[in-house]
Amino acid sequence: MKYWLMKSEPESFSIDDLAKAPKKTTCWDGVRNYQARNFMRTMELGDQVFFYHSSADPPCIAGIAEVVKKAYPDHTALDPKDHHYDRKATPSNPIWEMVDIKLVRKLDAPVTLDDLRNVARLEKMELLRRGSRLSVQPVSAEEWKVICRLAEKKSKRPLQNTRPGF
DNA sequence: GCCAACGTTGGC
DNA sequence: GCCAACGTTGGC
């Protein structure tokens, strides 16, 4: 099982929106970066995801989700009226793909970007790299564990409903 | 709102 | 293949 971090601006789609969604599940449409897409292509069912609020106050990991559907074509790339339309995309070559993710749990106390920066073991984390903008990125097993511990500490109670591995 | 960092586009 | 121009991301 692998670990990931996916960014969303809460003004467009937040952890609460995911909680309110049917089956607490959403398709992750709109990714228009090849590296991010390639990461989604390698995702497996059950992979665990940190749901990150970008351009938020404060920026933070707001919850945990998991992959419930493997990569498939992102239809919004084919719709000229859609904001994420890409004229290079065709039905036979849709170019862009998405996965479905389901909420595992919202964090009682979000782990902020500032919190993460204060952990020496997270120094190499992609999110913390200067100028990093990747919206879908891998998280190492160690990083995952460290961040889950941090989340537990902040919430003052055990993380429930998370799979073994953190 | 600012702006640094980054990815993409397109002329050459 | 180079690289300037442009658009976007995302923290501050």
The answer to whether residue A166 scores a pLDDT higher than 60 is: no
How confident is the model at residue A160, as a pLDDT?
62
How confident is the model at residue A93, as a pLDDT?
87
Say how far A128 CA is from C9 C1', in Å. Answer: 14
Average pLDDT value for chain A: 92
Which bases of chain B are under 7 A from a protein CB atom?
4-9
Note the residue count of chain A. 166
pLDDT in tens, A43-92: 999 999 999 999 999 999 999 999 999 999 999 998 888 888 888 888 88
Say how far A165 CA is from B5 C1', in Å. Answer: 34
- Amino acid in the structure at residue A113: L
The whole-model pTM stands at 0.92
Whether the CB of A130 is less than 7 Å away from nucleic strand B comes out as yes
Q: CA of A73: how far to CAs of A27, A82, A102, A121, A138, in Å?
A: 11, 15, 18, 36, 21
Percent share of chain A, pLDDT over 90 = 78
Residues contacting strand C at CB < 7 A?
Answer: A 7, 9, 32, 54-56, 59, 113-114, 133-135
- Residue A53, SS3? strand
Say how far A90 CA is from C11 C1', in Å. Answer: 35
